[in-house]
Structure 1
Amino acid sequence: MLTVTIRGLIQSEESGVPSVILTSSDDVLLISIGVAEAASIQMALEGKKLPRPMTHDLIENLLSGLHAMLRSVTIYKIQNSTFYAYLSVEQRNDQDDVIQELRIDARPSDGIAIAVRVGCPVYVAEDVMKQAGLRADFFFGQLDLNQKVEEENNIFFIEDFDLDMFDDEDDDDEDDDEGGFR
């Protein structure tokens, strides 16, 4: 297994689909993800929180409430252009003894969004990196940093990705709890 660093997000110019950028020492792995997951990962990388929990914040809260800890996220397989991952979770009792170890099937994007929040490592199987990875020097050499992305502390963010689309500041009706975030 390779330990990877979550370097950020990039958006395909052709399709508009966001991808998360994972790097190991010499390789880059791009995994296409949904817009909601991209927003969640970006907010976590930037240390931003909404007034109400998003799905990945809720999962972090559930883990904590159940005395469970996400130990790692492992991207272990690629099949038909689909990546497969699992979460390694430990549940502990009040004396902090491990009472259960779980391996939970997950989409890589969800696993990464949670991993960023809890600070656990992300691993990629070597054969997955060999099959789907790019050489880091090639990838970063092809990237036009001036036009495509903004680099801040070696984390790449989609330039036109607007987190404000999740704010619901215009909704003053406190009783309406359907939709939006507060």
Structure 2
Amino acid sequence: MSAVIPESEIEVQIRGLMLDPVTNMPIVVLKDIAGDTVLPIWVGVFEANAIALELEKTTTPRPMTHDLLRNLARGLNATVTKVVVSDLREDTFFATIWMLQEEELVTLDARPSDAIAMALRWDCPIYVSRRVLERSRQSANETGTNVNADELRRWLENLNDEDTGRYKM
């Protein structure tokens, strides 16, 4: 049984993992696989590390938190089928992890960084709700940062592999 992908979701891939030049906070850059739309999501240092470890296929001597969660799900005969960056409220992104356990679909609320780390460990697709993309643009317009947001988007869309650091796809 596979999950049905609604038209309201856009499949993305990780374009890069980098540091915000202003705040020094990690950014996961998601890019529409069928277009040029990009969505930067600022994440915590530990979550960025969990994503980077899996992007680089680095093994650790003991299971890290997301590895433990993967092992727990496997132990419960569950499979992560997709993750969705599903909402944006008050400048905070929300995500949903979709799992299949014995023919039953289970959804879990998650931070996008954790959902992305899990998607990488399960090698499953990552989606962004069209509504989230619209709200992220609208949020930039409402805060009066439209020019900066547009400049940031253009900059992110034109990144080359060297710009995104060692975390290449």
Range into which the TM-score falls when normalised by the shorter chain:
0.7 to 0.9
What residue is the counterpart of 2:110 in the other structure?
106
Say if 1:37 and 1:47 are closer, same or farther in 2 by CA, change over 3 A.
same
The counterpart of 1:138, out of the listed 131, 135, 154, is: 154
Q: Which structure has the highest helix share of the two? A: 2
Gaps of 5+ in 2: 1-8, 138-148
Say if 1:137 and 1:33 are closer, same or farther in 2 by CA, change over 3 A.
closer
The counterpart of 1:73, out of the listed 83, 90, 94, is: 83
Q: Name the aligned partner's letter for residue 89 of structure 1.
A: M
1:150 counterpart = 2:158: no
Contact 2:26 2:48 (C-alpha < 8 Å) held by counterparts: yes
What residue is the counterpart of 2:60 in the other structure?
50
Q: Return the alpha-carbon distance in structure 1 between the equivalents of residues 157 and 82 of structure 2.
A: 30
Output one character per residue of 1:23-45: Cα deviation in whole Å (capped at 9) or x when no partner: 00221101110100000101101
Q: Return the alpha-carbon distance in structure 2 between the equivalents of residues 141 and 8 of structure 1.
A: 11
* 3-state SS, counterpart of residue 109 of structure 1: helix
Q: Return the alpha-carbon distance in structure 1 between the equivalents of residues 68 and 42 of structure 2.
A: 23
Say if 1:5 and 1:145 are closer, same or farther in 2 by CA, change over 3 A.
closer
Contact 1:87 1:103 (C-alpha < 8 Å) held by counterparts: yes
- Give the total of aligned pairs: 147
Say if 1:114 and 1:142 are closer, same or farther in 2 by CA, change over 3 A.
same
Q: Name the aligned partner's letter for residue 68 of structure 1.
A: A
* 3-state SS, counterpart of residue 21 of structure 2: coil
Aligned pairs (5 A) from 1:34-49: 34-49=44-59
Which contiguous aligned blocks of 4+ residues in structure 1 show a shift greater than 6 angstroms?
134-137
Say if 1:40 and 1:79 are closer, same or farther in 2 by CA, change over 3 A.
same
Say if 1:144 and 1:72 are closer, same or farther in 2 by CA, change over 3 A.
closer
Give 1:48 deviation, angstroms.
Answer: 0.7
What residue is the counterpart of 2:21 in the other structure?
13
Aligned pairs (5 A) from 1:154-165: 154-155=168-169
Higher CA-based Rg = 1
Give 1:141 deviation, angstroms.
Answer: 6.0
Instruction: Give TM-score scaled by structure 1 length.
Output: 0.73
Q: Name the aligned partner's letter for residue 139 of structure 1.
A: W
What residue is the counterpart of 1:179 in the other structure?
none
Contact 1:8 1:45 (C-alpha < 8 Å) held by counterparts: no
Gaps of 5+ in 1: 93-97, 156-182
Contact 1:28 1:139 (C-alpha < 8 Å) held by counterparts: no
Instruction: Give TM-score scaled by structure 2 length.
Output: 0.78
1:63 counterpart = 2:87: no
Give 1:142 deviation, angstroms.
Answer: 6.1
Percent sequence identity is 36
Q: Return the alpha-carbon distance in structure 2 between the equivalents of residues 23 and 142 of structure 1.
A: 11
